[in-house]
Structure 1
Amino acid sequence: MPPRLALLALLVVPLAVHAASVRFVREGTTVKEADVGTLMAACTPATIAVDDPNYGTRKRYLACPLAEVLRFGFGAPPDALGSADVFIRAWDGYDKPTSAAELAEPGAYLAFGDADVSHGGDLRWAPLGTRRIDPGPLYLVWTKPAQRDRLTRPWPWQIAEFEVVEFRKKYPHVVPTGVPRSAPAWQGFELFRGECIACHAINGEGGDVGPDLNVPRSIVEYRPIPQIKAYIRDPATFRYGKMPAHPDLSDADLDALIAYFRAMSRAKHDPHPTR
């Protein structure tokens, strides 16, 4: 292959690494599964411009409003899904709960391909990051300035599934049941639910991008507390990896997370005790 063509092949990722489809699930039951072509035919695709915090630059995507996609998948508009959470699952183990109301906001789009490298029905993506990730088949992006912060809006790629289910029904062993509601562990639980559970599990429930933090041993049982806090705030000072920094977390937030981990260390539920 000529050098220039070889370079071009490295700079563009075809939609082939993962199955180009997505599942729509209610409380564990699949209600619809559709490939990218079917989704695009069911909504109103448009080329949108996004200041993308994952790429760190302005990008153009072929995308549909996420509200249209959810209406197609669940047979009802997002505001009719009630108070249940919507879990966004990705092929890499990311599993993010968020509200239907948030996903229905104007500015939320489901992207099918990078408009600058896709041609006709040949949907492609520019590699993402130093690990040259393929974001396909589906990537959630946001167009409004107030939605660009990854700490307040999910920006998952490689989306495989949307599930509507109550958080406590899906992950009953993550909740610090039995701890007084005035205890700091509950504040830590809310922080874990918002910041951590997409990638980490407690008692086998949650994402699996990173390790389970409670079984077989809780992180507070084998790591010094100051080290845990420092790692959460800036993991790159310890090792290079996927975990993002959390400079926004206050000392009180970190104390609450430690209180939550300690509470859950006394409430272990190991789904794989024979491993």
Structure 2
Amino acid sequence: MSTPLAASLLVALAAANPTLSKAEATLSFARFGEPVASHSLEELQIAVGAELARVHEPYEDRPVEFAALPLPELFDAIYSPSWRRERDLHVLFTCADGYQPTVPLSRFLDHASWLAFERLGAAEFAIDKLESGRRQTVSLGPFYVVWDNAENEELRSEGDYGWPYQVVAVDLVRTAERFPHMVPPPASSDRVRDGFAAFQVHCSRCHAVNGDGGRIGPELMTSPSSILLRGRPWLRRWIEDPSSELPAARMPRFNPEAPNREATIEAIIDYLYAMAEAAPGTSGAR
């Protein structure tokens, strides 16, 4: 749900987040890796106008209100409305901390979404997030992608998928072209390909495979044989809930509300095995 904000809220970023000046709140846009534009918050507000976004905050599990820019209208202004005919593309978000999630472009056509820049009723543009077994205050600036999930069970069940914060850049990409070293071998089974699709949703935002992906977590193919040596039972336990193996693990447990959770985890393991077995100098059995 959204309603127009009062004009006074359109210039409230500096007050809402004293560590980030208005001039510093900029966002870069690209298409297939080629720069398209770079705009300040003020310029983006002029282009599309701000709204009140009421959402169910997935990290805090409660209703929260943000001052935000509607993302479909923002994409119209940056890429022209032609982006709406390219449902096969993905949106790659780059965050200040190295997080690099990709979200299908079709999701922005099917569900309302916003680019938040202020948390209303709060002193800071931040959330309290569970990390390494304890709640920590995490800054969201300069931008935070939020979704109209307050009354949408499908989006609520996906947890924090598609909710990147500290966003500094947006790129429209074809994942196979942007991340060629992450793609499974051509002869891979449907199950491995399903695992690859799930890996992009749940894992590649933090982890890289052969250099492609996020930078928060470790590269998974630094030592491909280690994946094979650890074995499926250990990988399953780690993906399901890392704290069962390492109590202070920063990596969160696999979304408990995810549809077909167990089958999805198994498909991700199949994908990791396929990538490890395809790496030079490795071999192993399932």
What TM-score, normalized by structure 2, do the two folds share? Answer: 0.79
Hey, what does 2:204 align to over in structure 1? 197
2:163 to 139, 155, 158: 155
Matched ranges for 1:191-230 at <5 A: 191-230=198-237
Hey, what does 2:284 align to over in structure 1? none
1:171 and 2:179 are equivalent in the alignment = yes
**Do the aligned residues in 1 keep the contact of 2:161 with 2:202 (CA within 8 Å)?**
no
Matched ranges for 1:138-153 at <5 A: 138-144=143-149, 145-146=151-152, 147-151=155-159, 153=161
Hey, what does 1:14 align to over in structure 2? 18
Distance 2:62 2:34 in 1: 38
Matched ranges for 1:58-137 at <5 A: 58-76=63-81, 78-117=83-122, 124-129=124-129, 130-137=135-142
Superposition deviation, residue 187 in structure 1: 2.3
Q: C-alpha deviations, 1:106-164, integer Å up to 9, x for none?
A: 4211111112237xxxxx41443223110011111112322334448411111111111
What TM-score, normalized by structure 1, do the two folds share? Answer: 0.82
Cα RMSD of the aligned pairs, angstroms, is: 2.5
Provide the secondary structure at the position in 2 that maps to 1:98: strand
Q: C-alpha deviations, 1:33-61, integer Å up to 9, x for none?
A: 11111111111212222221112222111
User: How many residues were matched structurally?
Assistant: 252
**Do the aligned residues in 2 keep the contact of 1:14 with 1:125 (CA within 8 Å)?**
no
- Aligned partner letter, 2:90: D
Distance 1:151 1:131 in 2: 18
1:244 and 2:252 are equivalent in the alignment = yes
Provide the secondary structure at the position in 2 that maps to 1:55: coil
Q: 1:30 and 1:57, CA in 2 relative to 1: closer, same or farther beyond 3 A?
A: same
1:253 to 264, 269, 272: 264
Hey, what does 2:194 align to over in structure 1? 187
Provide the secondary structure at the position in 1 that maps to 2:185: coil
Distance 1:52 1:77 in 2: 31
Superposition deviation, residue 259 in structure 1: 2.0
Provide the secondary structure at the position in 2 that maps to 1:254: helix
Distance 2:205 2:170 in 1: 13
Provide the secondary structure at the position in 2 that maps to 1:148: helix
Q: 1:101 and 1:185, CA in 2 relative to 1: closer, same or farther beyond 3 A?
A: closer
Superposition deviation, residue 104 in structure 1: 3.1
Q: C-alpha deviations, 1:6-55, integer Å up to 9, x for none?
A: xxxxxx75352994111111111110011111111111212222221112
- Aligned partner letter, 2:177: K
Gaps of 5+ in 2: 1-15, 130-134, 281-286
Provide the secondary structure at the position in 2 that maps to 1:112: strand
Report which of the two has the higher share of helix: 2
Deviates more, 1:74-83 or 1:19-28: 74-83
Hey, what does 2:238 align to over in structure 1? 231
Deviates more, 1:53-62 or 1:219-228: 219-228
**Do the aligned residues in 1 keep the contact of 2:185 with 2:275 (CA within 8 Å)?**
no
Distance 2:207 2:225 in 1: 12
Distance 1:251 1:64 in 2: 36
Provide the secondary structure at the position in 2 that maps to 1:104: helix
Q: 1:36 and 1:105, CA in 2 relative to 1: closer, same or farther beyond 3 A?
A: farther
Distance 1:58 1:201 in 2: 33
Provide the secondary structure at the position in 1 that maps to 2:237: helix
